[in-house]
Chains A and B, each alone.
Chain A
Amino acid sequence: MKPIVIAKNLTKSYTKGIRALDNVSLTVNQGKVLVVMGPSGSGKSTLIRTFNGLETFDQGEIDILGIKLDCNHNERKIQRIRKRVGMVFQQFNLFPHLSILENITLAPVNVQKRHRSEAEEYGMYLLGQMGIDSHAKKYPSQLSGGEQQRVAIARALALKPELLLFDEPTSALDPERINEVLDAMRRLAKQGMTMIVVTHEIGFAKDVSDQVLFMDSGKVIETSTPDLFFSNAKHDRSRKFLNQLDKN
């Protein structure tokens, strides 16, 4: 089992002493899926954004794919990590002035210096995998939310990443569109992709994840297997949260 992400004692505080991350440690092994859950403001997004350098932290260290990050934000190391780690955002964040295919080939061509024709071929293959290759020439605003999010996943995959980060990928979608994105993520998990997913989708977490991490106020409340967590959560706080989710 090769560990892909090892985080040790991550702590980040904002001014006024509010802690976004409070002594968070976790390990994700190759080919595994970690689901991060918790109420809003619990620090889940902050946590996964530290893994590709979008957020800094004050204490602790992270080892991602053998590259060690500490609280001194080392740009060069972060750049190396970003070339090997893909990220999918809640609001898709596609580039509105570029066509779907250009969105996907931008990084391979300019960051990895691959040939345009090769990058386009691989981009079309990825769009085919996501079932949206017929939209390649269109622009993001011409697509539905679910389609845009699948483009965003294809864009993250275009760099052939070894780890994928998902920051609430289905929270901005219509209920009817959620499954097309979750199905794409399920297929990725089956293909052995290592993923860290912040989500409230219990069904997805039960089916796909190998490990569930529950956070509140920047602290890790509990870490367990999905079976245990959803049937028999140890902590009151987790049970309360799950009850709330069930009611909705």
Chain B
Amino acid sequence: MFNINSIMIFIQKLRNIFFSNILNTIFSLVIILLISLAFLNTFEWIIFDANWKVVTSNLPLYAFGSFPSNEQWRPATWIISLLLLSIITLFGPEWKWLRQNLLLTWISTIPLGLYLLYGGFGLSPIMSRHWGGLTLTILLTTCSSLFSLPFGIILALCRQSSLPLIRKLSSIYIDVMRAIPLIAVLFFGQLLIPLFLPVGIEIDRVWRSILAFTLFVSAYIAEDIRGGLQAIPNTQIEAANSLGLNQYQIIQFILIPQALRIALPALTNQSIGLFQNTSLMAILGLVELLGVGRSILANPEFIGQYIEVYVWLACVYWLVCTIMAVLGRHLEHRMTMNQANF
């Protein structure tokens, strides 16, 4: 592949594009100079100027928040199992039993995570106010996604219902939720839900925020699913009708599987957005990943080291988002592999 000839052609091409006349040459040189200066400065800062101690000495904080240090193996186990599962999903062998049970395994990581965090049944119980860091961010994302998907599907189906009351109610809900900024819904979850609940019933802060995220995201998911439902031709329903399937069977076997497939790219998008939006909880007092960063910056020892902390957090957010995006694409690819026309 790499022979002298092809390199020569490549150089010739570069020369034609960037240095074909004097004006182009000047432009190219100036831009190349600017880019290399930017890179040089960045690298200089990363390697010589930045003080990474604010990151390296606080790694357990970023990962687990104020989780008691002798129990930190529990959230660590959870995060590592999620990572392993991602790797198996992406690069694992094509064994049929493995692939058939992957979805179930993914869903079961949520009860596993809750058990590891809460404790009980042989583990010492730990209150949710000690949860934090990346662990809490991932917990908020996974739980809210898991709950908002079925809720979103139900909303989308209600919006297509033939009963006017149900249709109207669900479309009002969706429109209202989309008209309110997320931060307002989160404030509602943190400050107002405790007021509405009867005396003696309390939902802790983590669950209140999961509830608020679920209420918000499911409205968007409902619209994505509705798009999927509308893309299914009516002839599919006719064919299912003529086979004697009833309304619920048509929804279960024909409409939902096809709508989910069509909506999958949009759903991946929603869950990545949700992951990033969990950082809003830092303002509302949950010490998730961004919250940890803020509390570390409040420590006199690390005062003023904003750039290091935020660059580091950006990298972590980027890494997790990339993993989610790759997983989403992988799922899309798998679902459409056998269906060229679909």
A residues with CB within 8 A of B: 52-54, 79, 82-83, 85-87, 89, 91, 93-97, 99, 106-107, 110-111, 138-142, 155-156, 159
A95 pairs with B340, CB closer than 8 A: no
B245 at the interface (CB under 8 A from A): yes
Contacts of A52 in B (CB 8 A): 242
B92 at the interface (CB under 8 A from A): no
Are A111 and B236 also in contact (CB < 8 A) when A97-B261, A141-B339, A141-B342 are?
A: no
A82 pairs with B241, CB closer than 8 A: yes
Q: How many residues of B contact A (CB 8 A)?
A: 22
B191 CB → nearest A CB, Å: 44
Contacts of A82 in B (CB 8 A): 241-244
Main secondary structure of the interface of A (DSSP, over half): loop
B253 pairs with A142, CB closer than 8 A: no
Are A95 and B339 also in contact (CB < 8 A) when A79-B244, A106-B245, A159-B244 are?
A: no
A69 CB → nearest B CB, Å: 15
- The distance in angstroms between the C-alpha atoms of A99 and B339, with both chains bound, is 10
Contacts of B44 in A (CB 8 A): none
A135 CB → nearest B CB, Å: 12
B16 at the interface (CB under 8 A from A): no
A132 CB → nearest B CB, Å: 16
Closest A residue, CB atoms, query B254 = A95
A143 CB → nearest B CB, Å: 11
A67 CB → nearest B CB, Å: 13
Q: A93: which of B238, B340, B342 is its contact (CB, 8 Å)?
A: B238
Contacts of B245 in A (CB 8 A): 106-107, 110-111
Binary contact readout B231-243 vs A (1 if CB under 8 angstroms, 0 otherwise): 0000110111111
Contacts of A95 in B (CB 8 A): 236, 239-240, 253-254, 258
A93 pairs with B339, CB closer than 8 A: no
Q: B249: which of A87, A93, A99, A110 is its contact (CB, 8 Å)?
A: A110
Binary contact readout B249-261 vs A (1 if CB under 8 angstroms, 0 otherwise): 1000110011001
Give B186-238 interface residues, CB cut-off 8 Å to A: 235-236, 238
B340 pairs with A142, CB closer than 8 A: yes
B238 pairs with A54, CB closer than 8 A: yes
B3 at the interface (CB under 8 A from A): no
B310 CB → nearest A CB, Å: 44
- The distance in angstroms between the C-alpha atoms of A95 and B243, with both chains bound, is 12
A28 CB → nearest B CB, Å: 18
A89 pairs with B338, CB closer than 8 A: no
B77 at the interface (CB under 8 A from A): no
Contacts of B244 in A (CB 8 A): 79, 82-83, 107, 111, 159
B246 at the interface (CB under 8 A from A): yes
B150 CB → nearest A CB, Å: 19
B341 at the interface (CB under 8 A from A): yes
Give B55-89 interface residues, CB cut-off 8 Å to A: none
B338 pairs with A139, CB closer than 8 A: yes
- The distance in angstroms between the C-alpha atoms of A155 and B240, with both chains bound, is 11
Contacts of B342 in A (CB 8 A): 96-97, 139, 141
B210 CB → nearest A CB, Å: 31
- The distance in angstroms between the C-alpha atoms of A54 and B241, with both chains bound, is 8
- The distance in angstroms between the C-alpha atoms of A111 and B241, with both chains bound, is 11
Contacts of B339 in A (CB 8 A): 96-97, 139-141
A159 pairs with B243, CB closer than 8 A: yes
- The distance in angstroms between the C-alpha atoms of A141 and B335, with both chains bound, is 13
- The distance in angstroms between the C-alpha atoms of A83 and B246, with both chains bound, is 11
A89 pairs with B238, CB closer than 8 A: yes
Contacts of A99 in B (CB 8 A): 338
